[in-house]
A = this chain, B = another copy of it.
Amino acid sequence: MGSFMYNFSFQNPTKLIFGEGQMAKLASEIPKDKKVLLIYGGGSIKKNGVYEQVASALSEHQWGEFGGIEANPGFHTAMKAVEKIKAEGFDFLLAVGGGSVCDATKFIAASACFNDDPWKILTEGARIRDALPIGVVLTLPATGSESNPNGVIDNYETQEKLAFYGRKLFPQFAILDPTTTYSLPAKQVANGIVDAYVHTMEQYLTFPVGADLQDRFAEGILRTLANNGPKALSEPENYTVRANVMWSATMALNGLIGLAVPHDWATHFIGHELTALHNMDHGQTLAVILPSMMAEKREQKHEKLLQYGKEVWGIDSGSEEERIDAAIEQTRAFFESLGVKTRLSDYGVEEQHIPALVEALEKHKMVALGEHRDVTPEVSAQVLRRCL
């Protein structure tokens, strides 16, 4: 007797505006009476033409800008944006960039309306009751942050990476133009593909509950990323390939595929500590941890590992254990084929660092992870040892 699909409620209000040349729609999506703060990262949008496109689309709006959001968006940087918003009266936030800029913009939007210390949103789960309206111009497909109400913020002083959530944080719209991703560095593209792939796996590779369509959708995203990922690197201006990657990354974490099924976000949470303590890219942490998590949990995930191997990689011969080995190896090989290394040693992280990582997990109450809540600190340590 298997489990049943879980009950759920689903509503995703973000308007997705997809395709080449869609930037022109920006002007009509933001009310004319809004004072817009354009938020961006390290300035690549000033080199690739996106900044000019946005400026041109906003020619009839009052607007200002705030740059310098970090790849792992920092709490103190966000607080500076909040100060600027309060001083100058901005009332619409436009994130232009990837998931980091989206996440930072959400945190800024919430903090600007928060009547207490915003740090409590991250550390005490203080409820976000209001937020400034948000729009997104996405330039890096990866996190799905452009159409979900979640985010992650780093505190560089305390070396912490913490998640937050609030229904008011769904962007009102997101413009997804695949051509804006052509000029991205290969490393960012690869990290983004790994991120979207692992998001999908974390909503899929658990135990079966009979949710056939949810499984087919997840496998569809995984296959699309597997087929298009390497080409996204070798043919950076292939519109179709970049469009498939961009749409897959959005669908991987807009809430849809996670409905009705158990989740296992252990890989992400362990990865967060690697970023916080060792400055690894988020995608790198996932590429390292996921294959080892699959191996560590191969008994509990037995059925889904077989299904994953067959449906995504066409693995249908050999003993069950051989097929599971092959599924894990294919996953690792896929990440490596994107140029994302899958061993901690590739990043200078060694066995001696594991205790501090586990201590950080404990500090952040990440002591019962996984779909069965049995990824204890000891299990996380074991997974990390497998990653060496």
Contact = CB atoms under 8 A, between A and B. Distances in A.
Interface of A: 2, 4-22, 25, 210-214, 216-217, 219-221, 223-224, 227-228, 239-240, 243-244, 247-248, 251, 256, 259-260
B219 A4 contact: no
Contacts of A256: 256
B22 A244 contact: no
Contact of A5 (B19, B25, B220): B19
Question: Which of A219, A227, A244 has the most CB atoms of chain B within a 10 A radius of its CB?
Answer: A244
19 contacts: A4-B240, A4-B243, A5-B19, A5-B244, A6-B19, A7-B18, A7-B19, A8-B17, A9-B15, A10-B18, A12-B12, A13-B13, A19-B260, A213-B221, A213-B248, A213-B251, A217-B217, A217-B220, A256-B256
Contacts of A212: 223-224, 227-228, 244
Nearest to A213: B224
Nearest to A5: B243
Oligomeric state, in number of copies?
Answer: 2
A214 B211 CA distance: 19
Contacts of A248: 213
A263 B18 CA distance: 18
Given A5-B243, A10-B16, A216 B213 contact: no
Nearest to A248: B213
Question: Which of A10, A22, A239 has the most CB atoms of chain B within a 10 A radius of its CB?
Answer: A10
A2 B244 CA distance: 15
Contacts of A221: 213, 216
A11 B9 contact: no
A213 B244 contact: yes
Given A7-B21, A213-B220, A243-B260, 13 more contacts: A4-B243, A5-B247, A6-B19, A7-B20, A7-B22, A11-B16, A210-B240, A210-B244, A212-B223, A213-B248, A216-B217, A216-B220, A219-B220
A17 B13 contact: no
Contacts of A5: 19, 239-240, 243-244, 247
Contacts of A8: 16-19
A265 to B, nearest CB: 22
Contacts of A244: 5, 210-213
A224 B220 contact: no
A357 B160 CA distance: 69
Given A213-B220, A213-B244, A244-B211, A11 B19 contact: no
Contacts of A243: 4-5, 210-211, 260
